[in-house]
Amino acid sequence: MHTPKKRNLRTIAGLATAAVLTVPLAACSQDVGTTASASNEQSSSQTPIEPRATVAMLSGDNTQVALDQGFVQALQQLKLTPGVVGDAELVGGDTLEFPITGGNVSVYEPGEVNPYVVGQIQHEGSGLSLSAKGTTVEITNLNVDPTISKVYGDVTVDGKVAATSVPVFNLDGRTLQPLEMKGDDAILQGTKVQVSEVAAPLLNETFGTDAIKRGLVVGTATITASTAPAPAA
């Protein structure tokens, strides 16, 4: 089992990132809180709709979250110290990066299928931490589910398991840009990552505040996934 290692994060203009907020980052194709099934729309057509890009077994590239300045300022005001866990990185001082470790994804033409991004995108062995007054929350093993606009993760408080596979972020795909292909890479950019209805009260209770609100925008996600066949073992 991969045990994430925690390391300190350099300050981002006096702050950094936020723990409960992966992720993944991530990309979704519908508004927060809505659910839909791609198969429902396909079943109404005699001719199966082919996706623009499909990766049956994800094993590389990453999800990045460019941090929103409002989120950064909120952390500063709350005097919360963020960090990265395991294989996560802080890129350019303002963007979190989580390596993709597994999953699958299919991307359709918008309007042909709803949602038009389906699958799951896993980020095992990485995550975020958030610390204040001797207490540390870690959110790891992020799993992006674009079909239902959620990011799931495992949560620990001072090393003790608080929750497993719970929705820590919501995804708002109204700002998602059209699929971009660069060589073998499929790129989905523009989804807003927001603190979920589960994460907000958990963080507030842990850190003794009521300032962390559901829907607080953490940042904007970019998912880069290789469509090239995985090398033979």
Determine the pLDDT at residue 39.
Answer: 47
Residue 36 confidence (pLDDT) above 90: no
C-alpha 200/C-alpha 20 separation (Å) is 9
Reduced to 3 states (helix: H, G, I; strand: E, B; else coil), residue 182 is strand
pLDDT digits (tens, 9 = 90+) for 194-223: 999 999 999 999 999 999 999 999 999 999
Separation of first and last alpha carbons in the chain: 21
Q: Which of 143, 141, 144, 130 is nearest to 204 (CA)?
A: 130
More confident residue, 69 or 113: 69
Distance CA 165, CA 157 (A): 15
User: What is the signed CA dihedral for 49, 52, 58, 59, rounded to 10 degrees?
Assistant: 160
Predicted local distance difference test score (pLDDT) of residue 110? 84
pLDDT at 19 > cutoff 50: no
State yes or no: pLDDT of 96 exceeds 80.
yes
| pLDDT averaged over every residue in the chain | 82
* pLDDT number for residue 9: 38
What's the pLDDT tens digit per position in 103-156? 999 988 888 888 888 999 999 999 999 999 999 999 999 999 999 999 999 999
Q: Residue 16: helix, strand or coil by DSSP?
A: coil
Residue 18 has pLDDT above 80, yes or no: no
For residues 78-88, average pLDDT: 93
Give ∠ CA 116-121-125 in degrees, rounded to 5.
165
Region for residue 20 given its phi and psi (left: phi exceeds 0; alpha: psi -120 to 50; beta: otherwise): alpha
Query: For residue 67, which phi and psi values (nearest 5 degrees)?
Result: -70, 140
When pLDDT is averaged across residues 159-188 and rounded to a whole number, the result is: 93
